[in-house]
């Protein structure tokens, strides 16, 4: 900016002050300036407070000029002006500005301009912005570009959704907390902190999400995040929510199948650490034992059942062992079956219930090997008779 222009601008600012900053005079002066002058005009401390009509007209002028057109220098100035104006409108506050501000993220691609527009809408309490923000954040989470500009937009979107206290954004923000974003961007940490602004009970919302969401990658990531918190009872509730749908999941390919098996084992092991695993686990555990298509899952299911203090868990253990006892009498059990039978002995002993003696007594007379019979007797010795 040359000296002559600076002098002119100073005079214009002085005239504005002398006219008590009436909107019409302020607007006429602003309109007479080029983009550089307009930028400087807005950066000057106003002689009187900014008024809504002037700021709205200035934003309309900036927008109508196509902010992302012209030379790089002109585009930078127009962008700076737009950002300054949306901040000023949000600070007034100016609810009537929401429509004009909401157009900016739709029409322009600059990440900071879009982000500042989202923040302004959030500060204005414009809840119509929530749905587009959730959609945008979800798209950024799944983006294949993974550029710095996308990280900037994600950070802005998360902050805006937090200001709006939008519970419908919980999934998208939770996914962002596990997303591809670099540690330097701070997006994942910001998303994790923002969850508490969206819902009153983050663990409950997380468990509810795990129960209904079909994205196995998200389920796996969220469950690991739950485990990392070190609350075994919370982990058991999360495990139950996952298993209820996971046991009925049909894998589409080998990768999907591997993920399903990995997540199943993780939930079974994680739930065992709880002081009192929830009874709701019994139903999916029955599916795993009935389906009998993964030995490791069956072993962990049996161990988990032994820790569930409920009649339904004991009944499932008893009926499962009774089935193997019957097969043993006909000589159809295999080595893996005998290994599971031993796990059943241990789980029944762990229940501490007198009723667990029934299938164990039967096992002693079911033609098992001498070693297994000794294991059954050892389990019986740990159980009360009444």
Q: Residue 11: pLDDT above 50?
A: no
Least confident range of 6-10, 24-28, 152-156: 6-10
CB 91 within 8 A of CB 49: no
The pLDDT of residue 386 is 75
pLDDT digits (tens, 9 = 90+) for 149-182: 999 999 999 999 999 999 999 999 999 999 999 9
pTM, 2 dp: 0.87
Which positions ≥6 away from 218 have C-beta within 8 Å? Answer: 171, 174, 175, 178
For residues 263 and 236, give the distance between their C-alpha atoms in angstroms, rounded to a whole number.
Answer: 13
Domain residue spans of the chain: 310-386
pLDDT digits (tens, 9 = 90+) for 116-133: 999 999 999 999 999 999
Considering only CA atoms, which of 284, 342, 324 is closest in space to residue 308? Answer: 284
pLDDT digits (tens, 9 = 90+) for 42-101: 999 888 899 999 999 999 999 999 999 999 999 999 999 999 999 999 999 999 999 999
Grade residue 12 by pLDDT with cuts at 50, 70 and 90.
Answer: very low
Considering only CA atoms, which of 110, 55, 54, 118 is closest in space to residue 77? Answer: 110
**159: Cα separation from own chain's centroid:** 14
Considering only CA atoms, which of 313, 315, 222 is closest in space to residue 263? Answer: 222
The pLDDT of residue 366 is 95
CB 72 within 8 A of CB 31: no
């Amino acid at each position: 900016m040359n000296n002559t222009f600076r002098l002119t601008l100073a005079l214009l600012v002085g005239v504005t002050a002398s006219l008590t900053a009436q909107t019409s005079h302020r607007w006429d002066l602003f309109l007479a300036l080029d983009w550089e002058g307009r930028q400087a005009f807005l950066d000057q401390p106003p002689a009187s407070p900014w008024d809504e009509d002037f700021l709205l007209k200035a934003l309309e002028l900036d927008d109508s000029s196509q902010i992302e057109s012209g030379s790089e220098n002109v585009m930078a100035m127009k962008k700076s002006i737009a950002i300054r104006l949306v901040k000023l409108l949000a600070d007034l506050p100016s609810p009537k500005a929401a429509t004009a501000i909401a157009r900016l993220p739709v029409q322009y691609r600059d990440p900071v301009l879009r982000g500042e527009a989202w923040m302004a809408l959030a500060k204005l309490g414009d809840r119509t912005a929530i749905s587009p923000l959730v959609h945008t954040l979800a798209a950024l989470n799944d983006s294949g570009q993974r550029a710095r500009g996308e990280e900037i937009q994600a950070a802005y979107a998360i902050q805006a959704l937090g200001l709006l206290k939008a519970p419908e954004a919980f999934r998208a923000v939770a996914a962002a907390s596990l997303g591809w974003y670099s540690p330097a961007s701070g997006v994942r940490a910001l998303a994790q902190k923002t969850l508490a602004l969206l819902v009153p009970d983050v663990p409950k919302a997380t468990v509810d999400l795990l129960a209904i969401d079909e994205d196995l990658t998200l389920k796996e990531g969220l469950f690991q995040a739950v485990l990392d918190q070190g609350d075994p009872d919370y982990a058991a509730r999360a495990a139950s929510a996952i298993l209820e749908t996971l046991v009925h999941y049909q894998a589409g390919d080998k990768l999907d199948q591997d993920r399903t098996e990995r997540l199943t084992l993780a939930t079974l092991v994680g739930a065992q650490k709880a002081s009192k695993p929830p009874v709701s686990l019994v139903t999916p555990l029955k599916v795993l034992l009935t389906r009998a298509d993964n030995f490791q899952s069956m072993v962990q299911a049996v161990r988990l059942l032994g820790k569930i203090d409920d009649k339904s868990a004991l009944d499932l253990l008893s009926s499962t062992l009774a089935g193997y006892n019957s097969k043993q009498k006909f000589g159809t059990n295999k080595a893996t079956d005998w290994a599971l039978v031993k796990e059943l002995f241990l789980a029944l002993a762990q229940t501490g219930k007198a009723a667990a003696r029934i299938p164990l007594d039967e096992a002693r007379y079911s033609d098992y090997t001498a070693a297994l019979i000794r294991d059954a007797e050892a389990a019986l010795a740990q159980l009360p008779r009444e």
